[in-house]
Amino acid sequence: MHDNPFAPPTATADSPEGRGLVFSEEGVRVVSSLATWMRGLSTFYYVGVAFLALGACGALVTGSAAGVGVALGFSIVMLGLITAAIWLRSAASGFERGVYSDDEMTLGQGFRNLRAYLILMGIISILSLGSTILEVM
Amino acid sequence: MDARRIPFTEEDERRIASAATWGVIVAVSSLATGVISLLVQMQALSSLPPGLSRLGSGFFVKGALGASLVQAVIVVLINVWLLQASLSFRKVALTDEADQAHLLTGFRRLRAYFMVQVVLLMLLVGLVLFGVVVGLSS
């Protein structure tokens, strides 16, 4: 059976996904401020990376095996910090875009990056807890 | 923001729930580390050699204890905020009644969590710079 092209448009249900959100001014302010602080923290991570890079160069200059080991350790920490900073900034952008565009899809992107950041922090905090317990024992 | 349902996709709801779970893991393990560190420091301070503890009966022991307590309070405060944020995000993912209200509560707590970290780092950098300037000028 063919559809009648002259038939009036029928009311169809909205797609359950991808509909606009309506955020209050307060909500927009909170998320905007959250994104600013998240970016601020990521900037400190980059500052930490710069100091670690200087330390790694200083350790390499010694030319000893211990120096190379220290530089390698610093490089791993730098990699972790850069990754954390990127995820933090992406999460901030996702939340901000989600609020300004009133779209839950970009909010979901923000949560994806926040989850990645929290997984990294979770692994670090579990390792830290383990080392503290080992120190006590 | 009113208290209404947000039509997240199933995948996004899974991500939010997973982020909330990891938030709880970070908060609980950080709280545990903070408590253990505080107990160890307090034990170390109480078992100082008698001569040393007499020497610093006022300033040293009280200062170190105060610093440990301040550190513990900050650790507890920021991790409780992370815990509250994670529990709110968990409600966003697992319930459909007041998604926007829970989301706003979660974002508020998360903002406090990041804000205190940034402020503390700024203070730390300021103190280090002050120390460097004082060290260079003396």
What ipTM does this complex have? Answer: 0.84
Which range, of A88-92, B65-69, B75-79, averages the lowest pLDDT?
A: B65-69
Residues of A with CB under 8 A from a CB of B: 16-19, 21-24, 26-27, 30-31, 33-34, 37-38, 40-41, 44, 47, 95, 104-105, 107-108, 111-112, 114-115, 118-119, 121-122, 125-126, 128-129, 132-133, 135-136
Contacts of A31 in chain B (CB under 8 A): 107
- Kindly state whether residue A132 falls inside one of the protein's structural domains: yes
State the residue for tokens 């006022």: B58
Per-residue model confidence (pLDDT) at position B64: 73
Note the pLDDT tens digit of each residue in B45-66.
777 666 655 555 566 677 777 7
Average pLDDT of span B101-123: 94
Average pLDDT of span B21-25: 96
Per-residue model confidence (pLDDT) at position A115: 95
- Kindly state whether residue A102 falls inside one of the protein's structural domains: yes
C-alpha span between B66 and A47 (Å, rounded): 29
- Kindly state whether residue A20 falls inside one of the protein's structural domains: no
C-alpha separations of A120 from A82, B43, B52, B69 in Å: 12, 31, 42, 27
More confident call, B18 vs A108 = B18
A-to-B residue pairs, Cβ atoms closer than 8 angstroms:
111
Which range, of A16-30, A57-71, B105-119, averages the lowest pLDDT?
A: A16-30
Average pLDDT of span A65-71: 90
In this complex, do B7 and A38 lie within 8 Å of one another by their Cβ atoms?
Answer: no
C-alpha span between A136 and B68 (Å, rounded): 17
Average pLDDT of span B29-57: 75
| Structural element, H or E, at residue A53 | helix A25-62
Per-residue model confidence (pLDDT) at position A83: 96
Average pLDDT of span B119-128: 92
Which range marks the domain in which residue A121 is found?
25-136
Instruction: Report CA B16 to chain centroid distance, whole Å.
Output: 21
- Kindly state whether residue A13 falls inside one of the protein's structural domains: no
- Kindly state whether residue A6 falls inside one of the protein's structural domains: no
Contacts of B88 in chain A (CB under 8 A): none
Nearest to A104 among B8, B33, B125 (CB): B8
- CA-based angle B13:B19:B22, to the nearest 5? 145
How many structural domains is chain A composed of?
A: 1
More confident call, A31 vs B67 = A31
Per-residue model confidence (pLDDT) at position A22: 60
pLDDT at B1 over 80: no
- Kindly state whether residue A9 falls inside one of the protein's structural domains: no
3-state SS assignment for residue A103 = strand
C-alpha span between B1 and B70 (Å, rounded): 36
Q: Scanning every residue of chain B, which has its alpha carbon at the shortest distance from the alpha carbon of A111?
A: B16
Note the pLDDT tens digit of each residue in A6-61.
555 554 444 444 445 667 788 889 999 999 999 999 999 999 999 999 999 998 98
% of residues, chain A, pLDDT over 90: 55
Half-sphere exposure of A13 (CA within 13 A, CB side): 3
More confident call, A71 vs B48 = A71
Mean pLDDT of the residues in chain B: 85
pLDDT at B105 over 60: yes
Mean pLDDT of the residues in chain A: 84
- Kindly state whether residue A18 falls inside one of the protein's structural domains: no
In this complex, do A37 and B115 lie within 8 Å of one another by their Cβ atoms?
Answer: yes
Note the pLDDT tens digit of each residue in A100-110.
776 667 788 89
Per-residue model confidence (pLDDT) at position A11: 45
Alpha-carbon gap: A65 to the closest alpha carbon of chain B (Å): 30
